[in-house]
Amino acid sequence: MKRMILTLVCLLSLALTFMTCKKDEGNLTIRDSKELTQTANADEKTTGKGFTFTAKKSWTASVKESTKIKGSGVSWIKLLYNGVETYSGGAGTFTIIVSLEQNTVQEPRYATIEIVSGNDKIIISVMQKGKSGSEEDSGTTGPLIWNFANGVLTISGSGAMPNYDLKYENGQFVGISSPWYKYKDLIITIIIGNSVTSIGDYAFSNFYYLYSVKIGNNVKRIGQWAFSSTGLEEIEIPQSVEKIGEWAFHICEVLSNITISSVNLSFEGRGAFTFGGKSRNIVITLSDDVQEIKENADFDVDNKYPPNLKLIIGSKVQRIEKNFFFNAFYTEIDSRQKNPPKIFDNTFNNIRYYPMVFVEKGCFDVYKATDVWKDFEIIEKN
């Protein structure tokens, strides 16, 4: 009984602070969580349709330089409401258009928009891609062919990508041995062909401006440190992937949306995914192809900056092993599996509040009767 009372008090406290806890509570709500990320090409004047929010009280807005890239300022971005530059308002529903100046350099630029109403805050990330470079290059790496043009690196051919090494001169780090490393500040998109069977160690490490990756459907291994310290915001692990090396996605500071479709995934060592503390709302989706997540998936966030976590469990998931996720603040689980998957006391480590678990209609009793799950807040979907 004491645990239940404590849980209810914590959840009520969270609802006053985070608009993500419940859509119908708080002073400030956003229409669609997808609108929390706004992107545009270098020559586009807006991010598109912008974002829509509802405020129950007066609100203010500010634009800040992103913590990801310092030095670009924020003069290139303006907030428009009904065609007028606007940074405050009263109660009501507002659609804000994000107006941009053309980006004339090759590096992308970033900003954050903060909407504040009372104790509630919405943080929106803005990224405008850099101007495509005129440089083009191509070559071979092992049995594969690579081509770089207009900000896109394409890997084709058939077989395994080699592993790459760190390079040092006089004891100082000077780069990585991959042939495309010299273009790391120009590459914003990577396409890996369907006949490529592995991604090498350190292949794209330190590609700070890398925004998107398409992994081919025959890749079986993602090497250690392969995408560490990149600008990826989302990643999909396809069905074919069987192994992910340790630190493969280490310090991906804005990575916030991970979809796993692999049917036989294991982890080489620990620390495959570490978020670096700037991903405030993380969504992990275990697709309907997934049956088991093996030990040491190790989704981990800096303990000083625990994020909100939403975990979507597909309808065929049977088991989630130990050490799945570390250091979440508020945790929401959407389970589409009618039979509770096997989980352990340390599947979720250092979770600040008991998870809120949404289950399919008619499944409340079976979850409440299952070890570990029974300690969570179970809510049956309508």
pLDDT, one tens digit per residue, over 94-106 is 999 999 998 887 6
Looking at the fold, whether 117 and 254 belong to one and the same domain comes out as no
Token pair 């599947």 is at which residue? 347
For position 132, what pLDDT does the model report? 64
d(CA 353, CA 165): 41
For position 56, what pLDDT does the model report? 94
Looking at the fold, whether 283 and 203 belong to one and the same domain comes out as yes
pLDDT tens digits along 121-180: 998 988 888 776 556 789 999 999 999 988 899 999 999 999 999 999 999 999 999 999
Q: Distance from CA of residue 306 to its chain's centroid?
A: 14
- Among 69, 104, 128, the domain boundary falls at 128
Provide the token pair at 253.
């500071």
Looking at the fold, whether 159 and 216 belong to one and the same domain comes out as yes
- Of 251, 204, 209, 195, residue with least CA distance to 223: 204
Looking at the fold, whether 189 and 97 belong to one and the same domain comes out as no
Total tally of structural domains belonging to the chain: 2
- Domain that residue 243 falls in: 136-380
Burial of 334 (0-12, 13-18, 19+ CB in 10 A): middle
Point out the least confidently predicted range of 7-11, 34-38, 198-202, 317-321.
Answer: 7-11
Looking at the fold, whether 35 and 70 belong to one and the same domain comes out as yes
Looking at the fold, whether 230 and 324 belong to one and the same domain comes out as yes
- Facing residues of 115 across strands? 61, 122
- Among 128, 163, 194, the domain boundary falls at 128
CB-based contacts of 175: which residues, under 8 Å, 6+ apart? 166, 167, 181, 182
For position 280, what pLDDT does the model report? 64
Looking at the fold, whether 176 and 309 belong to one and the same domain comes out as yes
pLDDT tens digits along 17-45: 333 333 345 789 999 888 888 988 888 99
Looking at the fold, whether 8 and 90 belong to one and the same domain comes out as yes
Looking at the fold, whether 323 and 224 belong to one and the same domain comes out as yes
d(CA 108, CA 129): 4
- Among 128, 153, 169, the domain boundary falls at 128
Q: What is the mean pLDDT of residues 62-79?
A: 76
d(CA 302, CA 289): 30
Neighbours of 282 (CB within 10 A): 21
- Sheet strands (E) in 172-271: 172-176, 189-192, 196-199, 212-214, 221-222, 234-237, 243-245, 257-260, 266-268
Looking at the fold, whether 171 and 105 belong to one and the same domain comes out as no
